[in-house]
Amino acid sequence: MTASGAERPIVIGLTGPIGCGKSTVAGMLRDLGASVIDADVLAREATGPGRPTLAPIRERFGSTVFAADGSLDRAALAAVVFSDPKALADLEAIVHPAVRVLVDVALESAVAAGPLVVVIEAIKLVEGGLAERCDEVWLIECSADTQRQRGLARGATADDLERRLAAQGPDLADRLAAAATRRLSTDGSLAETRDRVEDALAEALAPAMGGLFSRDGARDA
């Protein structure tokens, strides 16, 4: 039994375009007691030293995307795939299956710990086949201006940012909307985003909790 008294926690998937605040929302949910699985972290693990993905990556992209010590040169690989849609699709076909395995292991461990909520944060939640593990899919989005401001503030060059945005497509949020249970905007202040997250979480938990979960993320006495 979990802390909610249900057979298993609710699993919420977070997805959306780059720079729209998925990690911010995940952090807020973690503060509210959720266990968070970051698929980007697991993707790095899946392509780390000695991993089986490295051989097919080398076969497809060559030695120029590897460092002298044999580790993956992520910057070099990104420069290739974010300017070539076919190359990006080929990379995802290699990496996504390995990431799904790691997510399943992490999900099993998280569920066993008994939280009310488990979160899977993944930009490729839908395309990578992870949405089917989720009870809800939250599409995290913001305005194009906010997205670019955040990307530049994190140190991305304007050219690199535009390549990444072009690779995911200007209509990504609209394409993901069909799979989304909820759409959350992160425009505005952090406090405003936190309010939206708390409201969405309370709504998501209401059926299982029978009204025992308040908006502030605490169980009612």
Structure tokens at 97: 């299956």
CB within 8 A of 205, min separation 6: which ones?
A: 4, 10, 116, 117, 213
- The pLDDT tens digits for 89-132 are 999 999 999 999 999 999 999 999 989 999 999 988 998 889 99
pTM of the full structure: 0.85
- The pLDDT tens digits for 26-39 are 999 999 999 999 99
Long-range contact pairs involving 217-220 (C-beta distance under 8 Å, separation at least 24): 217/31, 217/32, 217/33
Q: Among the CATH numbers 3.40.50.300, 3.40.50.720, 3.40.190.10, 1.20.120.160, which is that of 10-209?
A: 3.40.50.300
- The pLDDT tens digits for 125-159 are 998 889 999 999 999 999 988 988 888 888 778 88
CA distance 172 to 190: 23
Position 18 scores a pLDDT of: 85
